[in-house]
Amino acid sequence: MPPRFARALMVAATTTALTATLASAQDADRAAPRHVRGATVDAVELLDELIARSPTARDLVERLDHSDLLVYIRFQWFSTVTLRGRIGFLTESTHSRLLAIEIGCRYTRTDQLVALGHELHHAVEIADAPTVWDARSLAAYYTSIGDRTGFAASAETFETAAAAATGRRVRSELATIAAPAVIANDDRN
């Protein structure tokens, strides 16, 4: 076999092996369960759209995927019109940290996406605080890093400047990155 042909064959084999390895790694990444999950098909679609349109949200989800939290997203009909989203523990356990992000049903798609980005920031704040395991430690934590904003559904509510800034940044990103065609033609915006 001529040396030039042997080198070309070796380069082709190496390229094929590398391509197969990268494809396998990408498949494994897609197969790995997210730590942030929609509880319904609509919630999955909201999360997927936010990730597609907001680099900030993608970064937040990636950080959460490397944390010990599991975060479920669901829609909720809030009794107050001022509440667009909230986060809290699904269960109080010292074995796992399961959170629920609830997004208000009555808002526009854009407002729901912004609220989800804002609440994802809160989830990262909680992920960064390993001593927060339940509603009591959550309230104590937010008392130290945020501002109490009142009560909603008989629970204290808090806000952080960082989460508010994330909401503004996500809104700006949504204004510059178009919605998918299916949603753009929908009357939800």
Region 74-79 average pLDDT: 92
User: Distance (Å, rounded) from C-alpha 38 to C-alpha 100?
Assistant: 10
Quote the mean pLDDT of the chain. Answer: 81
Among the residue ranges 50-54, 76-80, 161-165, 185-189, the one predicted with the least confidence is 185-189
- Residue 74 inside a domain? The answer is yes
In a domain, 189, yes or no: no
Determine, yes or no, domain membership for 12: no
pTM of the model as a whole: 0.76
What CA–CA distance (Å, rounded) separates 116 from 86?
9
Q: Are 62 and 47 in contact (CB under 8 A)?
A: no
Task: Flag whether pLDDT at 18 surpasses 90.
Answer: no
Instruction: Flag whether 18 is in a domain.
Output: no
- Residue 170: domain span: 31-184
* The pLDDT value given to residue 124: 98
| C-alpha–C-alpha distance, residues 44 and 37, integer Å | 7
Q: Is the pLDDT of residue 27 over 50?
A: no
- Give the range among 9-13, 27-31, 80-84, 113-117 with minimum mean pLDDT: 9-13
Q: Are 58 and 51 in contact (CB under 8 A)?
A: yes
pLDDT exceeds cutoff 60 at 160: yes
User: With bands split at pLDDT 50, 70 and 90, how would you rate the model's confidence at 29?
Assistant: very low
* Total of domains in the chain: 1
pLDDT at 185 over 90: no
- Per the domain annotation, does 8 fall within a domain? no
90 in any annotated domain:
yes
Write out 71-114 in H/E/C secondary structure: EEEEEECCCCCCCCEEEEECCCCCCCEEEEEEEECCCCHHHHHH
pLDDT tier, 58 (very low <50, low <70, confident <90, very high otherwise): very high
Q: Quick check: is 110 in a domain?
A: yes
User: 3-class SS at 180?
Assistant: coil
**The predicted structure's pLDDT at residue 92:** 65
For residue range 102-154, list pLDDT tens digits in order: 999 999 999 999 999 999 999 999 999 999 998 889 989 999 998 887 766 55
Higher pLDDT, 83 or 19: 83
| pLDDT confidence of residue 144 | 92
Q: What is the mean pLDDT of residues 150-168?
A: 83
Q: Is 131 inside a domain boundary?
A: yes
